[in-house]
């Protein structure tokens, strides 16, 4: 099953060695066949180190969701492969959880939030431990005492918190998030961004966060992976050297924040215009 | 809700049935037409035949067969429909046969049922199951297939086992459709128990109604017919209460969306 020899250990310039937890090697995806064949992903390569916060941005239509589904093992790539802790991903890995974009459809409306969180834990943990994990996860996302509500009794922001709590309680090594805040209002979005940063620090989880929002990407990430327009490859990887903990006011006032933002914005604009030329 | 509103809501729902019964009562009071006995006579017969120990002879066999037949049709229908919904291969193999069986008018099965089972309770149950199962089968299959892709992804990425997927995700998602199938199955079950008892039984409410008609016991015919109406009404009521309980989440969700 596993190709353990492929686990990469890249040398950091500093003392600690960084362990690669997730590695994409030439991931391709095409839909259809013959003349209607559309190449969405055209060899995507990048690696994620354990404990890192990676944001993936790209022009709209650049196959961000397709990429995430390939990484999550929900969709087989047409070429290349994804390695999760050295093993080729052929089905959803046990130590990976996904927070989906459409929280209102990924939570089960016939179960309370507590039972929604508990469902994936039933195969992994004993009853007593489950209860503890659920309460801890609910507290972490600011939903302590709300476990007995049904998802539809909650606001959109609370539902997405519940979906995040479900991911956390599952105790994944990697949390994949697919534009998780695209559907909530601006104020809630800011709260949830800080929530995810707190959680990442608390649980020391590796996060791969797909977004179309450049500010959000720079604010959250250790490194931003910029995709080209379709057919998609990695156009640039931009390290974000802003100090942590991040702060919605201070971090965004930092001149480096503005520089990074402008840089990534330009890269995406270029990617957009070049992909338009390709299509014409 | 205060008592006044409960009362006025009750009045709105009840005035027409009460009025119709009153009209029937007075219009038939002096009736000497043998086909339309006075309502008072019918109710006396009803009370004598159906509200005393004598009722056990016909009512209990009918209700037992109805309940067994309905439960077999319901659970069999959900099981078969789930199988059809989950497996396209099974679906394409079974679909033509099913469409054929479904197109048979259920009473047509009576002669064959008689050949196979004779005049027995098993025969009545056979007719119910075969005639009433199809709406539940088809609705369940549809409901099972209508799983939103988001939930399918969620179930896969959290590696839910087959039983978890089935009982926590697929079937609850299909539940609203399953229930509308079950409701038709219930109505058909009531129709079929009566019809099959009329044709081939030695007891039961259907047997009582037809038997009394053939012996010119007209008040009994009316009383039996009334009883069948009451049975139909009460079973539907019980069914709707169960449905409201099981689908409480759906009602709640719709109300919050509207608000």
Model pLDDT for residues B199-251, shown as the tens digit of each residue: 888 888 888 989 899 988 899 999 999 999 999 999 999 999 999 999 999 99
Q: Do the beta carbons of residue A107 and residue A163 sit within 8 Å? A: yes
H/E run at residue A209: strand A206-210
- Give the residue numbers in A contacting B (CB under 8 Å), as ranges: 69, 72-74, 91-92, 94, 96-98, 100, 102, 105-106, 108-111, 119-120, 122-123, 150, 152-153, 166, 170
For the record, the structure tokens of B107 come out as 């009473």
Distances (CA, A) of B71 to A101, B20, B21, B166, B197: 41, 35, 34, 20, 18
- Give the residue numbers in B contacting A (CB under 8 Å), as ranges: 148, 150-151, 153-154, 156-161, 164, 168-169, 172-173, 175, 249-250, 252-253, 256-257
Q: Mean pLDDT score of chain A, rounded to an integer?
A: 88
- pLDDT for the residue B259: 64
Using alpha carbons, select from B172, B174, B168 the residue that is nearest to residue B81: B174
Long-range pairs, B39-43, Cβ under 8 A, ≥24: B41/B219, B42/B219, B42/B222, B42/B223, B42/B226, B43/B223
CA dist A252 and A259 (Å) reads 11
- State how far Cα A278 lies from the chain centre: 29
CATH homologous superfamily of A42-95+173-279 equals P-loop containing nucleotide triphosphate hydrolases (3.40.50.300)
Q: Mean pLDDT score of chain B, rounded to an integer?
A: 91
pLDDT of A118 above 90? yes
**Which residues from chain A sit within 8 angstroms of residue B253, using beta carbons?**
109, 150, 152
The mean per-residue pLDDT over the stretch A234-240 comes to 92
For residue B174, what is the nearest residue in chain A, using CA coordinates? A110
For the record, the structure tokens of A2 come out as 């596993």
Q: Do the beta carbons of residue A167 and residue A99 sit within 8 Å? A: yes
> Which member of B153, B161, B257 has the closest CB to residue A123?
B161
Q: What are phi and psi of A27, to 5 degrees?
A: -70, 125
Report which DSSP code applies to A148: T
For residue B151, what is the nearest residue in chain A, using CA coordinates? A106
Q: Which residues does A265 contact at the CB level (< 8 Å), separation at least 6?
A: A214
Residue to mutate among B153, B165, B252, with most A CBs inside 10 A, is B153
Place of tokens 């800011």: A190
Contact check, Cβ <8 Å, A106/B256: no
Pairing of strands A79-84, A174-178: unpaired
pLDDT of A6 above 50? no
Using alpha carbons, select from A167, A140, A172 the residue that is nearest to residue A50: A172
Q: Do the beta carbons of residue B159 and residue A95 sit within 8 Å? A: no
pLDDT of A3 above 80? no
CA dist B185 and B73 (Å) reads 7
Task: Out of A5-19, A187-201, A204-218, pick the least confident.
Answer: A5-19
Residue B35 binned pLDDT confidence (cut-offs 50, 70, 90): confident
> Which member of B150, B161, B249 has the closest CB to residue A106?
B150
CA dist B94 and B78 (Å) reads 15
Tell me the torsion sign for CA atoms B114, B118, B120, B123. Answer: negative
- pLDDT for the residue B188: 94
pLDDT of A228 above 50? yes
Contact check, Cβ <8 Å, A73/B157: yes
> Which member of B156, B252, B253 has the closest CB to residue A92?
B156
Pairing of strands A18-31, A206-210: unpaired
Domain boundaries, chain A: 42-95+173-279, 108-171
Using alpha carbons, select from A261, A209, A264 the residue that is nearest to residue A59: A264
Cis peptide before B182 (omega within 30 of 0): no
Using alpha carbons, select from A22, A5, A134 the residue that is nearest to residue A70: A22
pLDDT of A13 above 50? no
For residue B165, what is the nearest residue in chain A, using CA coordinates? A119
Residue A276 binned pLDDT confidence (cut-offs 50, 70, 90): low
Domain boundaries, chain B: 41-258
Contact check, Cβ <8 Å, A150/B249: yes
- pLDDT for the residue A263: 94
Q: Which fold has domain B41-258?
A: MetI-like fold (1.10.3720)
Q: What are phi and psi of A100, to 5 degrees?
A: -85, 160
Per DSSP, what are the bridge partners of residue A226? A57, A236
For the record, the structure tokens of B240 come out as 């709707």
Residue A275 binned pLDDT confidence (cut-offs 50, 70, 90): low
For residue A104, what is the nearest residue in chain B, using CA coordinates? B150
Residue A48 binned pLDDT confidence (cut-offs 50, 70, 90): very high
Q: Do the beta carbons of residue A55 and residue A217 sit within 8 Å? A: yes
Q: What is the pTM of this model?
A: 0.85
The mean per-residue pLDDT over the stretch A215-231 comes to 93
Task: Out of A22-36, B2-16, B236-250, pick the least confident.
Answer: B2-16
CA angle A43, A196, A157 (to 5 degrees): 105
pLDDT of A156 above 70? yes
Place of tokens 């990976």: A96
């Amino acid at each position: 099953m596993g190709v353990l020899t492929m686990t990469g250990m890249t040398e950091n310039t500093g003392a600690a060695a960084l362990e690669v937890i997730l590695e994409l090697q030439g991931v391709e995806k095409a839909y259809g066949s013959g003349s209607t064949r559309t190449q969405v992903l055209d060899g995507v390569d990048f690696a994620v180190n354990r404990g890192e916060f990676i944001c993936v941005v790209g022009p709209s239509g650049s196959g961000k969701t397709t990429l995430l589904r390939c990484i999550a093992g929900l969709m087989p790539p047409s070429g290349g492969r994804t390695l999760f802790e050295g093993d080729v991903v052929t089905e959803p890995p046990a130590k990976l959880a996904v927070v989906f974009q459409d929280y209102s459809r990924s939570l089960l409306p016939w179960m309370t939030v507590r039972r929604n969180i508990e469902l994936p834990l039933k195969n992994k943990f004993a009853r007593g431990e489950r209860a503890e994990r659920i309460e801890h996860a609910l507290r972490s996302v600011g939903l302590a005492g709300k476990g007995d509500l049904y998802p539809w009794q909650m606001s959109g922001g609370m539902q997405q918190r519940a979906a995040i709590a479900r991911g956390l309680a599952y105790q994944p090594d990697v949390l994949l998030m697919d534009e998780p805040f695209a559907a909530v209002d601006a104020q809630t979005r800011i709260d949830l961004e800080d929530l995810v940063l707190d959680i990442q620090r608390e649980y020391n989880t590796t996060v791969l966060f797909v977004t179309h929002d450049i500010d959000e990407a720079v604010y959250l990430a250790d490194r931003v992976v910029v995709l080209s327009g379709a057919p998609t490859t990695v156009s640039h990887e931009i390290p974000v050297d802003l100090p942590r903990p991040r702060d919605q006011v201070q971090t965004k006032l930092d001149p480096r924040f503005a520089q990074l933002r402008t840089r990534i914005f330009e890269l995406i604009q270029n990617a957009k215009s070049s992909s338009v030329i390709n299509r014409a | 809700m205060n008592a006044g509103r409960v009362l006025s809501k009750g009045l709105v729902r009840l005035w027409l049935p009460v009025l119709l019964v009153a009209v029937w009562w007075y219009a038939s009071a002096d009736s000497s037409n043998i086909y339309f006995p006075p309502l008072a006579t019918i109710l006396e017969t009803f009370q004598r035949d159906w509200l005393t120990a004598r009722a056990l002879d016909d009512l209990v066999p009918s209700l037992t067969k109805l309940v067994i037949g309905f439960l077999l049709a319901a659970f069999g229908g959900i099981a078969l429909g789930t199988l059809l919904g989950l497996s396209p291969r099974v679906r394409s193999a079974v679909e033509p046969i099913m469409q054929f069986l479904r197109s048979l008018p259920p009473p047509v099965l009576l002669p064959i049922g008689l050949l196979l089972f004779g005049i027995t309770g098993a025969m009545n149950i056979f007719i119910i199951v075969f005639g009433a199962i199809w709406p539940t089968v088809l609705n369940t299959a549809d409901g099972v297939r209508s799983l939103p892709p988001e939930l399918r992804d969620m179930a896969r990425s959290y590696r839910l086992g087959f039983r978890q997927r089935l009982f926590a995700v697929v079937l609850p998602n299909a539940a609203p459709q399953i229930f509308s199938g079950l409701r038709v199955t219930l109505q058909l079950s009531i129709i079929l128990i009566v019809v099959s008892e009329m044709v081939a039984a030695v007891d039961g409410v259907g047997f009582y109604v037809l038997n009394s008609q053939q012996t010119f016991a007209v008040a009994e015919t009316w009383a039996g017919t009334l009883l069948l109406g009451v049975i139909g009404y009460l079973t539907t009521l019980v069914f709707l209460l169960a449905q409201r309980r099981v689908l409480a989440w759906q009602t709640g969700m719709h109300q919050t969306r509207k608000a």
